[in-house]
Amino acid sequence: MSGSDNDSQERFALGFLAILITVLLASVVSTVVYKRGIARSADASAGASVVQAPQSVIEVDSARVVVEGGVVKFYFASAQAELAADANQALAGIVEGARAGKRVQISGFHDATGSAEINAELAKKRAQAVFAALQDLGVVVEQMELRKPEQMQASGSNAEARRVEVIVLE
């Protein structure tokens, strides 16, 4: 009878070991699948928000320019004052207005994070970068008006707040 008990114990031990290995493998596999699913859904939702969001909502921390209803909006990366690569192309309508004798208004905005003095200075540098780009495109200094930097109200994101707006005055 003791031989039968040994066989029974060995089968039990092997069965228990097989179940333990199966549970361990299932845990590892489910963790990997779960993490990949989160990454994919985050990528998909990020892609969806970029596609579905209006252009005025900028969530990306990079330099870009958007033209909306005659207003040219330059968005800047955090702590940066470099213009987007397509800045001159976006300013074409503004330059046309200036050539027709109209004045151009340049307004800088900044977010509420960090030092107010540093933010105001950075907003000023950004507006001056746009001012210089307009000068390079032939707009005369006397036709341009730089407005004092303003802090964006709490209704938008920090990325939206880091911008300069350019309009042609009537």
pLDDT exceeds cutoff 60 at 112: yes
Q: Choose between 56 and 149: higher pLDDT.
A: 149
What's the whole-number mean pLDDT along residues 112-116?
Answer: 83
Closest CA to 166 of 64, 91, 109: 91
Q: Report the pLDDT value the prediction gives residue 148, as an integer from 0 to 100.
A: 81
pLDDT exceeds cutoff 60 at 39: no
Q: What is the 3-state secondary structure (H, E, C) of the chain?
A: CHHHHHHHHHHHHHHHHHHHHHHHHHHHHHHHHHHHHHHHHHHHHHHHHHHHCCCCCCCCCCCEEEEECCEEEEECCCCCCCCCCCHHHHCHHHHHHHHCCCCEEEEEEECCCCCHHHHHHHHHHHHHHHHHHHHHCCCCHHHEEEEEEEECCCCCCHHHHCEEEEEECC
Q: Report the pLDDT value the prediction gives residue 152, as an integer from 0 to 100.
A: 59
Q: Quote the pTM value.
A: 0.62
Percent pLDDT > 70 in the chain is 75
